[in-house]
Amino acid sequence: MLEAKNISFSYTDQKAISDVSFTIEKGKQVSVIGESGCGKSTLLKLIYGQYDLDEGKLSYDAKPILGPKFNLIPGEDYIKYLAQDFGLMPYTTVAENVGNFLSNIDKKKKRSRIDELLEMVEMTEFSNVKPQFLSGGQQQRVALAKVLALEPELLLLDEPFSQIDTFRANALRRNLFRYFKENGITCLMATHDSVDVLSFSDETLVMKDGKIVASGSPKAIYENPGSKYVASLFGDANEVPENFLLKDGDASKSRFVYPEQLVMTEMSNLSVTVSNAWFKGNGYLVEGLCENGKIYFESTILLRKDTMVNLKLKQ
């Protein structure tokens, strides 16, 4: 189990991480999501042992995780960390990078392990190419293979799919998170992408200004975000008075709803005038105006500007 108890850290006078506590069970996939500068990357660096805590304690299986005051070289053997700069050696081949920490005693076994990992990240054909000649997305895939080479117990990933093409990232996510589950690897991933959170995480921590403002299953947080900030991390969230959505709703209370949760109907308390629409493949994202301001919803057909429609919550 990974455990953080009331940890705080500051680069300057202002705290980057403030009184954060959580536990992660072995083998769980946990995402940390939040706006840029909220403390996601700093949290991963603290867990890796790159910085010393100002306050609190970090431990894994009851063993303390210590910073540079105690460890000359940051990190523990059971932890691997993939930073946003990838950390590849540019003048050695892709295969040499992936196998850098593998033993040379059994070279056949080492080569087999390298081939297995390169196949997983779809980089087999670039085995003998040097990273300096690869694109950013290709380098990121090699870096993912490299951190997995020794099968860490705890894997820390900082925006691991940020530079990878969407069509390739989707398959890569499925391959990697299946691999983590099958091998019991605990993964903590900092991300801005709601796909990482909703589809592949067992639990989610939402951060703002160095604090955890929400935690729980991705489904629970998505369905009950609790604030506009949390809701906005998952899409174009609308803040709508309850009485617009529910027959006996309280006008003084708001509900946070996503475009896909609204559908058109003949009669409702929520009437909007279409102001814009964007094609998104399986339909349109529509912007409408109502007395409460702008609202976004989805439509399978193109709605012309100034069309008036009524909306309700999807059942």
- Which amino acid, residue 137? G
Task: Tell me the residue type at 138.
Answer: Q
- Say which CATH superfamily domain 2-230 falls into: P-loop containing nucleotide triphosphate hydrolases (3.40.50.300)
User: How many angstroms separate the CA atoms of 2 and 20, rounded?
Assistant: 13
Name the CATH superfamily, with its identifier, for domain 236-313: Nucleic acid-binding proteins (2.40.50.140)
Pairing verdict, β 254-257 and 238-241: antiparallel
Confidence of residue 3 (pLDDT cuts 50, 70, 90): very high
Domains 2-230 and 236-313 share a fold: no
Which pair of tokens denotes residue 94?
């892709």
Look at residues 228, 207, 246, 210 and name the one whose alpha carbon lies nearest to residue 293: 228
Give the tens place of pLDDT for each residue, 47-66: 999 999 999 999 999 999 99
Fill in the DSSP letter of residue 210. T
Is the entire prediction scored with pTM above 0.85?
yes
User: Would you kindly state where each structural domain of the chain is located, as residue ranges?
Assistant: 2-230, 236-313
How far apart CA 187 and CA 31 sit, in angstroms, is 8
CA distances from 15 to 140, 209, 210 (A): 30, 8, 7
pLDDT digits (tens, 9 = 90+) for 111-136: 999 999 999 999 999 999 999 999 99
